[in-house]
Structure 1
């Protein structure tokens, strides 16, 4: 309940809305009025509302406002100050003012409620009386009231007049001068934040105005019922103007009347200087828009509008994500919830409009803002805005980037000519992809895995990457992998060129960056050995650098970086520690250097990665397989790798992931090769020199990236967490080297981009040429490996199983095949494959990283032992009951030992003696038998597993969908990007 100060005040009377109202007006004769023809009965009652909730102390603004009131050439006849909360210092200022009454109200009281407390009700309203609405931060010019009162006197049809609001500290900038709205109720400021050059001074008739400083006729105020308290402090002047129009009145502007406002008071929306204020403003704007929509709509349409409140909140959530404004989402839903439950206040607002209405909505329509008006107001050239940054042209074609990509494509076709005719890639860690897009995405979902007796669990995140890749060529998904191999070099050159645009503006250095990245030993080795994870990581890393470098200043960059980081970590989990350290460092720098600006965007970049990995991480932790989380996904394949010794790590330090010196040992089997690691020295020296240049900050960051990449590679060669049959598979260090190569190449470009004296400028060209020639020399063996027949990749088969099984598996993905492979130690490795083939996306680290036999493993081992043992009788029936219809005795990995040969022959004899098996024949994949008994369907997932799978898929798709919406460019995000430099960190401040 409001309280009144000791100043003489008449009794409290309730307002029409049930809120107490205090009035204290003196009976002294009014002073000389500046109103033309004003009579002694014309009174202006100023209502000054004070609430200390701004960043600047309210007393500071209040003193200037009170002084401005005292200096008015047409003094006010009565002044009521409403204090909402406050401290002793504020009350001292209020007590010193010459106010007829002071009303004390709770700190939560809004401007609309505060004006109702001070509205003049103790004296019957006389024609010509007016109410002047002010806040503690609205300081009028000395002649402001005289001009407002004169305009109100000259136009009897005007319900209220509004001044020109200008900035508190700069009268040349307009804060507000008239407000309109679109057809759907969106508020449009007619001159907000424009420089005052008199361009709007001729405008008078408007739909509404900012509520601060308006002068309202007392009779109109009483007839309209004052301000609507349900607007949450936004659009109060607009709503009052709309209701005045419907009541037959007008709203007029008085541009000559200036009122300075700081945007720090209780009236109007706060200046969005902080995230909290921005959220508050968004909330208030949306509450007001929904309230007005429900109050203005025809009675028949009001229920439909009410039912659409929550669906609209969902739609606006998507729109906010597309517009790169995720900070608005919470406010949008909060406003929707308030509007959804505020049925009674809406009914009161509609009744208030109905009581005062004397005109149709046709009076309002001509003053609405049309879409054509909005397009005309759009800033088409933000680059020339005052204080703005003009971003340089990209110059992809003029700077030679397109020619670089074309040259890389030519080199790729020349290096891998046969790939143009291959339908499927094989060899190394390559296998076919699933036959259909549906199977691709089934492999990426939680549930039954395509390998194992009945393996149920989360999919590796890499399966989602493969699903996306295969979906690009839906009629033959395996062809997408072939196209990736052909386009890998031009795509790497393109990514390297764009990544270089974050480092340098020089066209020659951008070309160097693209060329050296495409000729990296890690990419070329991954291409010739058949390592899809290594290829994908190398292609994605430059784009992650390109987007991640600006993630702190752009939601589009943060969204793109989050998706790219998720894909990189899905293909190379061993990079997770390095990426986590870089992410943590970016967050800390954002807090320390940029005072928290952009930290939310940086934090978001990790969210999609966590969403994709969460099911697998939870499964690994609950089953004690934490080390398995860093395993290379896809097909487990050791391949040739450097040793975990000093010599091997020296090769890694040179950027070479293979013991054959990137192929030079096979190219020159008898020649000296000691010089090959020295080819990386020019790049390394330039990277080390980057911190010594003017752009030392960028050089240090890139050097840290290099160190983290090398550290990852050094650790990878000493860790083995995957197993294939009876062999261990160490982590491949190439992905770590790709990260190190990125940092070193970026550092080298920073060093080469440094300003040099004219007499030594030639050194830049010589150093760049030396780096390029060294990269070409390192790449020669790998680029010729396919022609020389030393590459591992081959024209892969359409299936890893015999054609008979593959044909049935294409029609029925639940066809089961148990594959038995004799081992060198006389043992047998057993694996169950479901469908037409093993696939890259169907692989799972749930099986390849297990270190202890699970009950399922023991059952499978028992089945395999019984199959190769002639004494067992019931094993085939058990296979049929489990849905397994074929048995494949695969050949041993060459060279075949005597023990393995003996086991193979013994198994063939045991299987051939079973009456319940039919020999299909000797195939290229091994000896094949078919089960004669009726095959039971594969056991289906439990209902709880299916429900869990749906929830996991929904959560992951929701997070990835949000990231995708954030990453999609819009016209607004493109305009904002043009205001920022493309090169990050030419000086430390420009990266902010």
Structure 2
């Protein structure tokens, strides 16, 4: 029996001939209880299609091959005279009753211009995909269906909707023509919403027919930049089409600005597909701007009513529906992975014990830091050893970080050590209390034992699961001799490295185990911190990363060192030019220290032990014995072996450090030996890793046998390890509170007179010369602020200053001093040598004694003196750069000459003038002159590149990926 045929119905099927779904779609059309009169098959390529099923049903089939770029153009090419037009995608197979139900509903009312079927899954017809479209005025669709939601008739009562999709849409052809036809710029996304909205604006109804169903494969919804870009572009297109005329231009600009920002945001959550899609959508919107104007005119001509606005959803609907779907998905996932009740209870108890252990460890570490540095609380700052006072603010540090000139003494090309850049946040906080970098370092040293303990507690979770064992490991690391020795020596770099090392090693181990990029990102952050504390560490980590990349055939390993290299780039450049001593150089001042015995150094006390030496050496020996016994264990054998590799590397680094000098100790004018803190910290970390690996599961193993020698050895080692942090802390506290047993003391107060401080802060940038008599001469330091600064170390003197001092007592001394911008001369201390020096200064022309105070005796230089001068005129200046109004003549800068100093007037670089040592230029005409030091790592594009590389690690280190 032949099924009746629907008169006046034209079916238009659009798609490529290569579609794997097209043949099934055509067969479904032919098998329908009602079939169209005609079918126009619009193919988007030159392939052939089997249409015998359609011809057997008596459907007149025509194949059309237009040059269409969008489905809107394709549908337009497929239109013909008919009462009804039925739209189908190549991947949308209608159910047998689909056309019959759509036609029946449309015939029931002449107001209905479009009817759409319920869309279900291609392979699973019980899966709901779409039952009409709810959308906001801006074209954002309201998510109404959970992924994989089943059809249980929950939407079968729905009829009038804002829009329906074009897959299976039945159109009244006359209404379509009156509305202006299809939009040639849209499709396959957004075309159904745009057309339905136009039909409703023309006074027609748009309905969904839940009894009619179409299986839709949604082949266009691929997870590609092109697919997402077309979806996002269509949404922006329809929003601009619908926007009021005064708002549309502003909205267009907003979309153009927001698209790159949205791309960056998606990139930050590792959604690279949609990040590229955002950019593609913006470019497409720009390309379709003319089509958009035509679409707005088309909508305006079709509009006779705005009553359809009541069907438009709001932004609140979108947010609430997305939140509900996200919540339901999360709850379902939790239910699927919910463990049994007893497992949850045990896990909660373990978390509580872990939190309690971490809290106790933090309190004990903080107490140790407070007890060690409480004597310096009145000064709220530290000086001595590797530390100098520094009054730099957070802003000063940031400016110095992007400068290629070090303002110390007569100046020299250089960089800010990266560790002080890391101190910017803490310095910023200290600034609220009137503090600066000195106070920030004091707070850091006080918190160092606590931070070290928590770092070890966190990292030990990779090897040990017992909260008690992790607490013991954290306590040992918080009171480890290398940390306590570095705190007493004022070596900020060694202290920071000691804190970071456990986290660095743990993150590298996680990256070896897992291919998740977040582990590489985490390792990159700790590599950055380790490189800032000890720049040579980047070389060792780079060797490891290259080896891991080769072994695992994973080039992503190279990323581990890229952010750290970008951050510490200037320090690495200096390191490469000053090998081999730079391999063991740490940030901070160079200092001398008395070396202890070989065994004391290996135990982590480089300066020897003043109190309880045998006890502390014995505690270290017990830890080493426990690590050796761990080699006999089968469990965590790999961790134990890795621990001993670290011990070997740490020992080798310590041996190298003990053979190198790293510069001149300016306070004693002798060579300063390298501080072996990094090697000792690495050695102790290796011992603790071996101990942790050996202790894993030890109690369970011992419980299987009776009392034996093994039990006694384990008990003795356990007691020794437990006693190590107690003995170490007690010995260190006694030592640091003793006389002369620590290199670190109170940060001094003001070291220059008030007039010198005023000159230094004024735009003239006057400097202070400190003179101290020595055997056979004078020790001189040229200060730009309140004494030598931690962040502005370097060549505080030089041949030029020495030549000036040689003229002390002569008539031209003051003029020569003014060339160095010296305005005040300070002679500290008392004694016959100081008096003789004072008599010499009193007899020097244009040098006037001012007064004597607890700082010392100081003199004023009575000739014009400043950083930038022209003749006898002192011009205002910044710390490094300067902008001055100059007259014709020679312009001099009291900085050591360097080819990268430039002076520019009206965009033209000035010619250099002759000067024995200073930077000087010849000014030909009056005007504003800008003096800058450019080049190297101070160039803006280099700084930008460094910032981008570091910021890029935020994306890499995120522990999740967008879905």
Q: Give the TM-score category using the shorter length.
A: 0.7 to 0.9
Matching residue within 357, 370, 377 for 1:400: 357
Matching residue within 860, 869, 876 for 1:930: 860
Deviations 1:820-844 (A, max 9, x none): 57788x6876553212233323346
Deviation at 1:298, TM superposition (A): 0.8
State the match for 1:914 in structure 2: 844
State the match for 2:913 in structure 1: none
**Separation (CA, whole Å) in 1 of partners of 2:567 and 2:589:** 21
2:590 is aligned with 1:637: yes
Contact 2:415–2:570 (8 Å) recurs in 1: yes
Q: Secondary structure at the match of 1:359?
A: coil
Equivalent positions of 1:787-802 (< 5 A) are: 787-789=737-739, 790-799=741-750
C-alpha change, 1:928 and 1:703, in structure 2 (3 Å) is same
State the match for 1:945 in structure 2: 932
State the match for 1:385 in structure 2: 332
State the match for 1:412 in structure 2: 369
C-alpha change, 1:301 and 1:772, in structure 2 (3 Å) is same
Contact 2:398–2:424 (8 Å) recurs in 1: yes
Deviation at 1:396, TM superposition (A): 7.4
Contact 1:547–1:561 (8 Å) recurs in 2: yes
State the match for 1:191 in structure 2: 145
State the match for 1:491 in structure 2: 451
State the match for 2:873 in structure 1: none
**Separation (CA, whole Å) in 1 of partners of 2:695 and 2:164:** 57
Q: Secondary structure at the match of 1:578?
A: helix
2:475 is aligned with 1:515: yes
State the match for 1:36 in structure 2: none
C-alpha change, 1:640 and 1:867, in structure 2 (3 Å) is closer
Contact 2:92–2:215 (8 Å) recurs in 1: yes
Contact 1:611–1:959 (8 Å) recurs in 2: no
Contact 1:679–1:775 (8 Å) recurs in 2: no
State the match for 2:920 in structure 1: none
Q: Secondary structure at the match of 2:430?
A: coil
- TM-score, L = length of structure 1: 0.74
**Separation (CA, whole Å) in 2 of partners of 1:806 and 1:887:** 12
State the match for 1:784 in structure 2: 734
C-alpha change, 1:232 and 1:389, in structure 2 (3 Å) is farther
**Separation (CA, whole Å) in 2 of partners of 1:40 and 1:565:** 73
State the match for 2:894 in structure 1: none
C-alpha change, 1:420 and 1:67, in structure 2 (3 Å) is farther
State the match for 2:435 in structure 1: 476
C-alpha change, 1:300 and 1:673, in structure 2 (3 Å) is closer
Deviations 1:739-766 (A, max 9, x none): 5655664565466455985764898996
State the match for 1:571 in structure 2: 533
Deviation at 1:206, TM superposition (A): 3.7
- Unpaired segments ≥5 residues, structure 2: 56-60, 339-343, 706-710, 869-876, 882-902, 904-929
Q: Secondary structure at the match of 2:326?
A: coil
2:3 is aligned with 1:32: yes
**Separation (CA, whole Å) in 2 of partners of 1:490 and 1:313:** 45
Q: Secondary structure at the match of 1:303?
A: helix
2:694 is aligned with 1:735: no
Contact 1:45–1:79 (8 Å) recurs in 2: yes
Deviation at 1:576, TM superposition (A): 0.7
State the match for 2:895 in structure 1: none
Q: Secondary structure at the match of 1:839?
A: coil
C-alpha change, 1:675 and 1:396, in structure 2 (3 Å) is closer
2:494 is aligned with 1:534: yes
Deviations 1:502-535 (A, max 9, x none): 5555432442343233223332222222112222
C-alpha change, 1:674 and 1:298, in structure 2 (3 Å) is closer
Q: Secondary structure at the match of 1:194?
A: coil
**Separation (CA, whole Å) in 1 of partners of 2:98 and 2:646:** 61
**Separation (CA, whole Å) in 2 of partners of 1:749 and 1:188:** 54
C-alpha change, 1:876 and 1:463, in structure 2 (3 Å) is farther
State the match for 1:897 in structure 2: none
Contact 2:71–2:186 (8 Å) recurs in 1: no
Deviates more, 1:452-461 or 1:346-355: 452-461
**Separation (CA, whole Å) in 1 of partners of 2:352 and 2:834:** 63
State the match for 1:306 in structure 2: 252
Equivalent positions of 1:227-626 (< 5 A) are: 228-231=183-186, 233-255=188-210, 257-263=212-218, 265=219, 267=220, 269-270=221-222, 272=223, 277=224, 279-313=225-259, 315-316=261-262, 319-320=265-266, 325=271, 328-340=274-286, 342-360=288-306, 362-363=308-309, 365-368=311-314, 370-371=316-317, 373-374=320-321, 376-377=323-324, 379-380=326-327, 384-386=331-333, 395=352, 398-434=355-391, 436-474=393-431, 475-477=434-436, 478-501=438-461, 505-541=465-501, 564-584=526-546, 608-614=563-569, 624=577
**Separation (CA, whole Å) in 2 of partners of 1:731 and 1:389:** 54
**Separation (CA, whole Å) in 1 of partners of 2:698 and 2:166:** 55
Cα RMSD for the two superposed structures: 4.8
**Separation (CA, whole Å) in 1 of partners of 2:235 and 2:323:** 23
Deviations 1:825-873 (A, max 9, x none): x6876553212233323346xx59xxxxxxxx7xx31331331355865
Deviates more, 1:464-473 or 1:831-840: 831-840
Deviations 1:57-114 (A, max 9, x none): x54x45555555555444455444444458xxxx4665887583444567x9444444
Equivalent positions of 1:752-791 (< 5 A) are: 752-753=695-696, 760=703, 771-789=721-739, 790-791=741-742
Q: Secondary structure at the match of 2:932?
A: helix
Matching residue within 624, 640, 662 for 1:681: 624
Contact 2:259–2:278 (8 Å) recurs in 1: yes
Matching residue within 817, 821, 835 for 2:768: 817
Deviation at 1:914, TM superposition (A): 2.0
State the match for 2:87 in structure 1: 132
Contact 1:889–1:928 (8 Å) recurs in 2: yes
Deviates more, 1:296-305 or 1:732-741: 732-741
**Separation (CA, whole Å) in 1 of partners of 2:761 and 2:772:** 24
Contact 1:322–1:968 (8 Å) recurs in 2: no
**Separation (CA, whole Å) in 2 of partners of 1:952 and 1:629:** 27
Contact 1:179–1:190 (8 Å) recurs in 2: no
Task: Indicate the structure whose relative CO is greater, using CA pairs within 8 Å and at least 6 residues apart.
Answer: 1
Q: Secondary structure at the match of 1:667?
A: coil
**Separation (CA, whole Å) in 1 of partners of 2:115 and 2:714:** 69
**Separation (CA, whole Å) in 2 of partners of 1:283 and 1:550:** 36
Contact 1:180–1:369 (8 Å) recurs in 2: no
**Separation (CA, whole Å) in 1 of partners of 2:136 and 2:581:** 58
Contact 2:143–2:321 (8 Å) recurs in 1: no
State the match for 1:842 in structure 2: 792
State the match for 1:4 in structure 2: none
Contact 1:636–1:729 (8 Å) recurs in 2: no
Contact 1:868–1:907 (8 Å) recurs in 2: no
C-alpha change, 1:455 and 1:194, in structure 2 (3 Å) is same
**Separation (CA, whole Å) in 2 of partners of 1:550 and 1:156:** 68
C-alpha change, 1:618 and 1:575, in structure 2 (3 Å) is closer
State the match for 2:162 in structure 1: 207
Deviation at 1:303, TM superposition (A): 1.7
Q: Secondary structure at the match of 1:130?
A: strand
Q: How many residues are matched?
A: 872
Deviations 1:647-685 (A, max 9, x none): 96x888x6x44435xx5x32246x587645423326645
Equivalent positions of 1:147-162 (< 5 A) are: 147-154=101-108, 157-162=111-116
- Unpaired segments ≥5 residues, structure 1: 1-29, 34-38, 53-57, 849-856, 893-900, 980-992
Contact 2:472–2:722 (8 Å) recurs in 1: yes
Deviations 1:330-373 (A, max 9, x none): 44344334434542121112122223223217535544452563
**Separation (CA, whole Å) in 1 of partners of 2:848 and 2:48:** 103
